[in-house]
Amino acid sequence: MIRIQAELTELPALSPENGGQGECEKAQYLLSQLKAWGFRNITQINAPDPRVVSGSRPNILVTIPGQKSG
């Protein structure tokens, strides 16, 4: 976890208001790690934003199936 946190910290994720190009690079890294860890219920929702090179700002949602009780 320390290695992952260090690698995430190294990747810039600044909004255009702060002189950055958004979170795309960081999101792609995180997606690859989640898949490597075996998470399968991953949804990426991209919010359109023409101010960034990728054209959108990524949001990542991971769900973990549970069990019903009772």
Tell me if 27 sits within 8 A of 8, measured CB to CB. Answer: no
Residue-by-residue DSSP string for 10-48 = HS--B-GGGT--BSHHHHHHHHHHHHHTT---EEEEEEE
Tens digit of pLDDT for each residue in 17-35? Answer: 898 889 999 999 999 999 9
pTM over 0.85: no
pLDDT for res 65 = 87
Task: Give the percent of the chain with pLDDT over 70.
Answer: 99
Residues of the chain with pLDDT under 70: 70
pLDDT for res 68 = 82
14, β-bridge pairs: 22
pLDDT for res 67 = 85
- Six-digit token string for 12: 């810039």
